[in-house]
Every structure is written in C-alpha cells, then in structure tokens.
Amino acid sequence: GDSVTQMEGPVTLSEEAFLTINCTYTATGYPSLFWYVQYPGEGLQLLLKATKADDKGSNKGFEATYRKETTSFHLEKGSVQVSDSAVYFCALSDRNKFYFGSGTKLNVKP
Amino acid sequence: DGGITQSPKYLFRKEGQNVTLSCEQNLNHDAMYWYRQDPGQGLRLIYYSQIVNDFQKGDIAEGYSVSREKKESFPLTVTSAQKNPTAFYLCASSTDHGGATQYFGPGTRLLVL
C-alpha cells in the first residue's frame, strides 16, 4: 500500500544553517506530494506542494522537488530561522486517499 | 476570511460521557475529514465525508461518530466507548475527495478528567 517515510527527529540546527528533511514515498498511482508545518498547539498549515514528477514546490524559502526516480520529496531551506522551529509533515495523495508521514520536529537555536 | 474553525480549543470529558467537537468551514469545500494526533505521532484518519449526508469510516472509527447535515459543518462525537480519547483532534477540508489539498483547522485538545 501507499506510505510516506520521514527522517526521525528531532533535528537541531543553529540559526542560518542549511536544512534538509528527508521524505520518501511508496505509491501505486501518480501521487501529489505535500509538506505541511505544525507550530506548537496549532493545526497543520500547507507549506508547499508538487503535483507531478520534476515539479518544484516552494514557499517562504523552503523548497522540495518531486523526484520520481528516487521516490523522494526532500524539504530544504538555505538558512533557517528560530521562527522555523516546528514539526514538518510530508504527505501524499493518491487514488482519493491522503497519507501522512510521522512528522519531523525541527529545533532552531539562536 | 475563509477558513476552518474548531471549537472548543480545550475540552474535558468525564468518564462515561459523550462529547462533541465542532468543525465549521466557509471555504465551500465538499469534503471534510477528522484526524486524531497523539503526542509525537502523525495523523490517523477517523472519519471523512465526501458530500452532505454521506460519510465513511477511516482507520480508527471505533468509539467515534459523525454527522454531515450541512456542507459547512462536520461535528465529531467522542463516545464513552472510546477508552483512550485523550488526544489532539484536527478537522480538515478539501474541494473534493480526489486527492485535493487538505486545509486544516486549529485543532481541539481533548482531556479526560
């Protein structure tokens, strides 16, 4: 069946460091891929998405490229800020269902 | 502003009591969803509705019930049959159930007294 696997956290970085959060997926169809962010005590907010292979989603300095050959959708940011501290969820939608990864907590220290 | 609202933000349940969590959206979305999130874990689907007066069980529907009498509203009842209800509950909606982007409400935290 379909699934999403994310790197385990927490990930701890210093401000202005480069961020990568790995996400790989398994799907039988042609999924759309998403990254959501969750700040403490809040719901999930859509960060970016990509709907087909080689698409790049981007928002607020974050980027992720839909790589069909490696079934990956890694999240990157060139310079993180303290305000980026949150939990990040990778997700896919395929054949009318949504699948979420388990989330990766990011801590950014000043 | 369009969006999804959930109320209350915190809810306390006594043993043997049913409680209802509210979810309202003004995005004109057809599909709505309820998820449960436990500490440090991902989201698990409880129920979803593709259209008014129709809903389907998700992966962990036991001990929960829903209704969809209006397009804007999708309340979730946590019944006394749910033995471990303490969790963070998230409501979401999308334009349809065909894999469209899901948009989330702010969540309700349910605690058992």
Tens digits of per-residue pLDDT, A15-26?
A: 999 999 999 999
Is A101 in CB contact (< 8 Å) with chain B?
Answer: yes
For residue A11, give the 3-state DSSP assignment: strand
**pLDDT given for residue A8 in this prediction:** 87
For residue A61, give the 3-state DSSP assignment: coil
Question: What 8-state DSSP symbol labels residue A9?
Answer: S
B31 neighbors B95 (Cβ within 8 angstroms): yes
The pLDDT of B86-95, averaged and rounded, is 94
Is B75 in CB contact (< 8 Å) with chain A?
Answer: no
Using a CB-CB distance cutoff of 8 angstroms, which residues of chain B are in contact with residue A45? 104
pLDDT tens for A36-95 read 999 988 999 999 999 999 999 999 999 999 999 999 999 999 999 999 999 999 999 987
For residue A18, give the 3-state DSSP assignment: coil
B67 to A9, B23, B32, B54, B55: CA distances (angstroms): 37, 11, 11, 8, 7
- Residue A96 reports pLDDT greater than 80: no
Phi and psi at residue B60, to the nearest 5°:
-135, 55
Is the bond leading into A31 cis (omega within 30 degrees of zero)? no
**pLDDT given for residue B83 in this prediction:** 87
pLDDT band at B97 (very low <50, low <70, confident <90, very high): low
Using a CB-CB distance cutoff of 8 angstroms, which residues of chain A are in contact with residue B21? none
Find tokens 């469209």 and name the residue. B100
Cα B64 from Cα B58, distance rounded (Å): 10
- Residue B50 reports pLDDT greater than 80: yes
**pLDDT given for residue B1 in this prediction:** 63
